[in-house]
Structure 1
Amino acid sequence: MTGPVVVGLDGSAASVTAAWWAASEAAERHLPVVLLHSWTTQPLDVPIAQEAHNKKRYGHDVLQRTAAELLHRHGDLALTTELVSDPAAQALLSHGENAAMLVLGSRGHGSVASFLLGSISLHVLGLAQCPAVAVRAGAPAVEAGWEHPAAADRDEVVVGVQELGPDAEPLLEFAFTAAELSGTRVCAVRALPVSALVTHPQAFAAQQADRDREAEERTRLAAVLIPWREKFPDVPVVEHVAMGSAAQVLLAASAHSRLTVIGRRRHPSRRTWKLGPVAHAALHHVPCPVAVVPHD
């Protein structure tokens, strides 16, 4: 993975928490950090006048204050700041063409927002050419790790594997790399839809079929993970296959994860973006950082 870790910073608690997480990831990966602030796209509750001069001064102060905090924590971190006039989403997507990852703040529980409107962050998450990570304000794995080396009860990276072919490779690469760097395990999650309800005497046969299908899918998932176990021999791996909707199974598996990784198909047009129901559920409800990784 090359390129910088680019953080969208607007001065909100969520964006500052995102910067903490980004700095730790960049330090572990030996990557530079870029703190990016769009002075034309600021939170509605910023208590400043609307003149351009004051907006720029606010942005400069936010960047310098956060940079000083990160450098105090990571003294050898290569860090730069950028105060831009381009709209936040446009600036981040432009950086995403050459970045290792983009990092955004998330208010969580009902809205995903980093800058002026939640739709801006969703737009970035849906169109970024590189992995984009949403970090919730007050994320326990992040804030505990800021004070201590790691959050003791956040000991795995969860990755949703709904595609078992080449589409899963970017997700698994991201998840295994993150787990290796943090010294945690990977939990590969796959959901299977429950058979439609049937009446007796067909119910027993349907339940048996579900159990057989679950065992079969667990075997298929284990086969997909073989080359990743070989590439990352020091990373423990567990397979989690469960009946239920993909969103429900992923949310349950992510209750105590330090990072959840999900996939998103690339879109041929930069004007068209879509995040599916699983991505929306994870971004709104998973308590840890959520990485959205594009794939073909």
Structure 2
Amino acid sequence: MTGPVVVGVDGSPASVTAAWWAAREAVERHLSVLLLHSWTTQPLDVPVAQEALTKQRCGGRVLQRMEAELLHRHAELSVATELVSESASKALVEAGGTATLLVLGSRGHGSVAGFLLGSVSLHVLGLAQCPAVTVRAGDPAVEDGRGHPAALGRNEVVVGVQEPSPAADPLLEFAFAAAEVHGARVRAVRALPPSSLVTHRHADPPGEGYEADERTRLDADLAPWQEKFPGVEVVDHVARGSASQVLLAASARGRLTVVGRRRHPSPLTWKLGPVAHAALHHLPCPVALVPHD
């Protein structure tokens, strides 16, 4: 896609970090950035009683300052701003219809926050039509504008591949494309349920045959993408445990972790699975949620 990288900003530290990450990502992908601010969805430190005009002016200044800072960091970057009156969640979901990426800020460890708060952020992540990335405030590879994930030993794009193709294809395409852009390695992760030790107890050692079969299946899922992206190094990572535990452990060297979520036909039925929740709440690196059928 050639749509912009859309980032929600409100002036909070989390949204500033998200904008820094979005700008660098846009430069490396040769894309533009759209800074979006909803003046009706103010952060917690803005008095609710402020008049609408004051809120709009405040929002305009937030956008101007953020645009100026991004252009100072990346003179070649194309930046647009949009001040909207609809709710932040509605504006971001709509923007995701033509965006390459949506980017949201996340406050430290714990629930997702920043431009959007709590369940509203999760609502956007669950409904976005394009990949949506959360960036955690305090990430040393983003915060000072000079740090680089590879210098911190984080040079892998980690992707969870529990379901075989074609369900995994959108995740793998996103992960391989991101790795190619950043010169990173792909670590493809598949978790084996501990119960397989019981169901395959006749193997010697127990479960070894099942693990070998799953590794073969994973390699088959990866093969078309290795052919399409021959310059990207790939590591297959098969381990026993819950999908959440295995993915979190595998992401220790991740510069980006990619998780899938199913598309939903109605905004009333969206939900994120336990693996997505675990990644969003516990991983220090940026997390990309990629929709798939």
Q: What TM-score, normalized to structure 1?
A: 0.93
| Residues 156 and 186 in structure 2, CA contact (< 8 A), matched pair in contact too | yes
Other-structure match for 2:214:
217
Query: 2:188, 2:259 → 1: CA distance?
Result: 11
5+ long unaligned stretches in structure 1: none
| Residues 3 and 98 in structure 1, CA contact (< 8 A), matched pair in contact too | yes
Other-structure match for 1:28:
28
Cα deviations by residue, 1:235-285 (Å, 9 ceiling, x for unpaired)? 100000000000000001112210000000000112221000000000000
Match of 2:245 among 242, 248, 259: 248
| Residues 108 and 283 in structure 1, CA contact (< 8 A), matched pair in contact too | no
Query: 2:99, 2:189 → 1: CA distance?
Result: 27
Rate the CA distance shift 1:108–1:272 in 2: closer, same or farther, 3 A: farther
Other-structure match for 1:59:
59
Note the C-alpha offset of 1:66. Answer: 1.0
Cα deviations by residue, 1:56-99 (Å, 9 ceiling, x for unpaired)? 12211111111111111111111100111100000001111111
Cα deviations by residue, 1:7-66 (Å, 9 ceiling, x for unpaired)? 011111111111111111111111111000000001112368521122112211111111
Cα deviations by residue, 1:146-179 (Å, 9 ceiling, x for unpaired)? 2145441111000000111111111111111111
> What amino acid maps onto 2:214 in structure 1?
E
Other-structure match for 2:146:
147
Query: 1:116, 1:91 → 2: CA distance?
Result: 11
| Residues 141 and 154 in structure 1, CA contact (< 8 A), matched pair in contact too | no
Most deviating of 186-195 and 102-111: 102-111
> What amino acid maps onto 1:284 in structure 2?
H
| Residues 105 and 136 in structure 1, CA contact (< 8 A), matched pair in contact too | yes
| Residues 159 and 186 in structure 1, CA contact (< 8 A), matched pair in contact too | yes
Query: 1:178-189 maps to which residues of 2 (within 5 A)?
Result: 178-189=178-189
Note the C-alpha offset of 1:230. Answer: 1.1
Other-structure match for 1:111:
111
Other-structure match for 2:229:
232
Query: 1:127, 1:108 → 2: CA distance?
Result: 23
Note the C-alpha offset of 1:141. Answer: 3.0
SS at match of 2:187: strand
Query: 1:108, 1:138 → 2: CA distance?
Result: 7
Q: Does 1:7 align with 2:4?
A: no
| Residues 89 and 120 in structure 1, CA contact (< 8 A), matched pair in contact too | yes
Note the C-alpha offset of 1:117. Answer: 2.3
Rate the CA distance shift 1:207–1:19 in 2: closer, same or farther, 3 A: farther
Other-structure match for 1:121:
121
Aligned length: 292
| Residues 111 and 281 in structure 2, CA contact (< 8 A), matched pair in contact too | yes
Query: 2:260, 2:142 → 1: CA distance?
Result: 22
SS at match of 1:167: coil
| Residues 49 and 55 in structure 1, CA contact (< 8 A), matched pair in contact too | no
Other-structure match for 2:37:
37
Cα deviations by residue, 1:184-206 (Å, 9 ceiling, x for unpaired)? 100000101002787xxx99647
Query: 2:166, 2:147 → 1: CA distance?
Result: 37
Q: Does 1:269 align with 2:266?
A: yes
Query: 1:140, 1:205 → 2: CA distance?
Result: 48
Q: What TM-score, normalized to structure 2?
A: 0.94
Note the C-alpha offset of 1:207. Answer: 7.6
| Residues 48 and 55 in structure 1, CA contact (< 8 A), matched pair in contact too | no
Rate the CA distance shift 1:102–1:116 in 2: closer, same or farther, 3 A: closer
> What amino acid maps onto 1:234 in structure 2?
G
Q: Percent identity?
A: 72
Rate the CA distance shift 1:197–1:166 in 2: closer, same or farther, 3 A: closer
CA RMSD for the aligned pairs? 1.9
